[in-house]
Structure 1
Amino acid sequence: MLVRIVKMGFHKQNIAIFMKNFDDTKTKIRGFKGCSFLELYRDRNNSNIFFTYSYWETEADLEHYRQSDLFKNIWNKTKPLFNMKPEAWSLDKIESLK
């Protein structure tokens, strides 16, 4: 399993637009082949910073999503809203305690 974390910073006036766009597309992202988990987080100390946290069955599944029309449409709407360069990490899940 691959865990993908993406950090994004937005201009304050663009946060509502981002939230609406995320709400409109979150079920499509979560329903994409290979995606088994999706969450959105907001930084407690800087309300302009958001993180997406998703699980992908394989790296190929994530890459297929990143090459899809769905991702391209989402990214084209999201990219102009940023106030900083986004950062992304792909991680291997080692252990999870419940």
Structure 2
Amino acid sequence: MLVRIVKMGFAPENIKTFLNNFEENKLRIRGFEGCEFLELYRGKDNSNQFFTYSYWKDEAALENYRHSDLFKNVWAKTKILFNEKPEAWSVDKIWGSEK
């Protein structure tokens, strides 16, 4: 399993637009073939920062998503709202405490 973590920063006036876009697309992203988990977090110390955590079956599944029309449309509407350069990491899950 591949875990993708993306950190994004937004100007305060763009946060509502970002959240609306996420709300409109979260189930499509989660339902994309190979996506096994999706969550959105907001920074405690910096409420302008958001993080997405998504689990993917494998790297090929993530790449299929990143080349899809869904990703291109979501990202086009998201990237224009940034007030800082986004950061992304792909990591392998070693251990989890799912109940």
Fold-level match, TM-score > 0.5? yes
SS of residue paired to 1:81: coil
Aligned AA (1:33): E
Name the CA distance, whole Å, in 1 between partners of 2:86 and 2:17: 17
* Secondary structure class of the residue paired with 2:45: coil
What is the TM-score of this pair, normalised by structure 1? 0.98
Residue number in structure 2 paired with 1:82: 82
Task: Provide TM-score, normalisation by structure 2.
Answer: 0.97
Kindly provide the CA deviation profile for residues 41-60 of structure 1, in whole angstroms up to 9, marking residues without a partner as x: 00001000000000000100
CA deviation after TM superposition for structure 1 residue 96, in Å = 1.1
Cα deviation, residue 97, structure 1: 2.2
Aligned-residue Cα RMSD (Å) equals 0.5
Separation in 2, partners of 1:95, 1:81: 34
Distance 1:74 1:81 in 2: 12
Measured in 2, the distance between the counterparts of 1:22 and 1:16 equals 10
2:10 corresponds in structure 1 to: 10
Q: Which runs of 5+ in 1 are unaligned?
A: none
Superposition map of 1:1-98 within 5 A = 1-98=1-98
Structure 2 gap ranges (5+)? none
Question: Partners in 2 of 1:60 and 1:16 — Cα distance?
Answer: 32
- What's the CA shift for 1:81? 0.2
For residues 96 and 2 of structure 2, what CA distance do their matches in structure 1 show? 13
Q: Which residue identity lines up with residue 10 of structure 2 in the other structure?
A: F
Letter in 1 for 2:28: K
